[in-house]
């Protein structure tokens, strides 16, 4: 039971990340590789405030979201000057900068040693050190993020984002300031990613920079591309598939000497085959 609870918690965290990135990529067409950075900003802000300053977890989470808002607004203004591949490379550069900061600012982040002993939250007498209770917390957070994402997608703001994705020049002719729309959704996506970071830090009770490397951003791309760009339910499905598939492969009886490499190879092969025959993803509205 604990094992399945653990998997569901991870699913909820990565589903939040998938939803937040899909708003940026799937709805506005901004191919950002910076999402793991905002995930890390939320995690590190919560970890530092709860361990070094004894802040309440929920207050630390709010501050983590605010930190992601601020940093994404600053980098978003810079990235707005780029388009296409240059935008993606610029976002990659930001992720590398944040990773390097986490790794080298040892007086604050403890560098490669990471931050241990992050406390689990407690609220109204509910002890979230019990995994089932923590699952309820992540489930409520996922529902909250999903409702925000759905409201955003269904609003006139969301419809404008889709129009920008399809033809930015055309919609700008009608007087829309596309830069403002793209910056706004970039900031919203970053703040939602920070929520996942706070939950991850409190759940694992330890973080280090390797979790927030650019490889994590690529994994998040995989979630939303597999699930379907521009479809929020696809983000949930993609997260579920990519969290469960490696665990399912653990139960296949490969020889111990090659088990890890074989599982990894099959995992990659299945993704390649899927993308060949279903390039728009499971529920995608458009493909790259």
Asked if residue 206 lies in contact with residue 43, where contact means CB atoms within 8 angstroms, the answer is no
Q: Residues near 64 by Cβ (< 8 Å), separated by ≥ 6?
A: 41, 42, 43, 45, 46, 49, 194, 195, 197, 198
Give the pLDDT score at 2: 87
Give the pLDDT score at 254: 65
Give the pLDDT score at 253: 64
Give the pLDDT score at 272: 79
Cα–Cα distance, 13 to 218 (Å, whole number): 16
Give the pLDDT score at 285: 66
Give the pLDDT score at 172: 81
Give the pLDDT score at 244: 86
- In terms of Cα–Cα distance, which of 68, 51, 46 is closest to 188? 68
Give the pLDDT score at 65: 98
Give the pLDDT score at 27: 92
Contacts of 178-184 spanning 24+ positions with Cβ under 8 A: 179/80, 181/28, 181/157, 182/28, 182/30, 182/76, 182/80, 183/73, 183/76, 183/77, 183/80, 184/157
- Confidence (pTM): 0.94
Enumerate residue ranges in the chain where pLDDT < 70: 252-260, 262-264, 267, 285-288
- In terms of Cα–Cα distance, which of 251, 172, 171 is closest to 7? 251
Give the pLDDT score at 110: 95
């Amino acid at each position: 039971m604990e094992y399945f609870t653990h998997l569901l918690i991870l699913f909820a965290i990565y589903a939040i990340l998938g939803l937040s990135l899909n708003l940026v990529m799937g709805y506005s067409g901004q191919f950002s590789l910076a999402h793991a950075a905002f995930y890390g900003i939320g995690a590190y802000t919560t970890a530092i405030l709860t361990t070094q300053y004894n802040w309440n977890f929920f207050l630390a989470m709010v501050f983590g979201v605010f930190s992601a808002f601020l940093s994404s607004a600053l980098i978003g203004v810079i990235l707005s000057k780029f388009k296409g591949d240059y935008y993606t490379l610029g976002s990659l550069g930001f992720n590398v900068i944040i990773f390097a900061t986490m790794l080298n600012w040892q007086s604050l982040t403890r560098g490669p040693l990471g931050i241990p002993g992050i406390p689990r939250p407690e609220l109204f007498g509910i002890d979230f050190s019990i995994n089932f209770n923590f699952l309820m917390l992540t489930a409520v957070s996922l529902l909250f993020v999903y409702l925000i994402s759905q409201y955003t997608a269904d609003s006139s703001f969301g419809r404008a984002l889709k129009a920008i994705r399809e033809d930015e020049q055309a919609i700008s002719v009608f007087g829309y300031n596309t830069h403002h729309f793209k910056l706004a959704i970039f900031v919203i996506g970053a703040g939602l990613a920070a929520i996942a970071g706070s939950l991850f830090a409190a759940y694992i009770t330890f973080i280090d920079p390797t979790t927030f490397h650019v490889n994590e951003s690529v994994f998040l791309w995989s979630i939303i591309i597999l699930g379907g760009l521009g479809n929020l339910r696809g983000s949930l499905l993609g997260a579920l598939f990519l969290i469960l598939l490696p665990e399912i492969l653990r139960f296949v009886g490969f020889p111990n000497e090659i088990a890890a490499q074989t599982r990894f190879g099959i995992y990659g092969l299945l993704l390649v085959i899927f993308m060949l025959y279903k390039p728009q993803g499971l529920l995608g509205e458009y493909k790259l």
